[in-house]
Amino acid sequence: MTKPKILLMGVSGCGKSLIGARLAEVLQIPFHDADSFHSEANVRKMANGVPLNDDDRADWLATLANLVRSEPALVLGCSALKRRYRDFLRDGNPDLQFLYLHGDYDTILPRLESRRDHYFAGAAMLRNQFEQLEPPDNREACSIDIRLGPDEIVKACLDTLRR
């Protein structure tokens, strides 16, 4: 398998960081968490329970698109909630493959509530992400069920990438 460019997408709490780090380790490529690229203003806003809007995300998405272009291979964990965000990230990055870590609100909320030291928290913020989410179809991304265990999810990601 050639070294891929992978974007793990989904709402907060779906496992992008955990699965992304493990997948990158197996593939021996860098992992980047898109949350690390938010501006201080965006982090403050989310920490105060205020969801981001399209304007808040514009510079963040541009930074991520540049990161994907500049890396020969990577795993990027990024919500990529809207189709236009995914299209923007894919523009100039035709080899970027999307894997959608899919789960429902009732599965993800307890995970989110168990987090410590993370600025994104709360049922209202998660509900907003689900409202914003435009789920990708099977031509745009391969969907992976997050009810599987982490090792099974990584295996499903690898199996998908080999196809």
In which band, very low, low, confident or very high, does the pLDDT at 50 lie, cut at 50, 70 and 90?
confident
pLDDT of residue 124: 81
pLDDT of residue 46: 84
Instruction: Quote the percentage of the chain above a pLDDT of 70.
Output: 94
Angle at the Cα of 52 from the Cα atoms of 49 and 58, rounded to 5 degrees: 155
pLDDT of residue 118: 52
Residue 17 has pLDDT above 80, yes or no: yes
Contact 145, 11 (CB under 8 A): no
In which band, very low, low, confident or very high, does the pLDDT at 1 lie, cut at 50, 70 and 90?
low
Per CATH, the architecture of 5-162 is what?
A: 3-Layer(aba) Sandwich (3.40)
Per-residue pLDDT, averaged over 101-108, amounts to 95
Sheet holding 96-102, edge to edge: 31-33, 74-77, 5-9, 96-102, 142-145
pLDDT of residue 116: 62
Residue 110 has pLDDT above 60, yes or no: yes
Instruction: Quote the percentage of the chain above a pLDDT of 90.
Output: 75
pLDDT of residue 119: 55
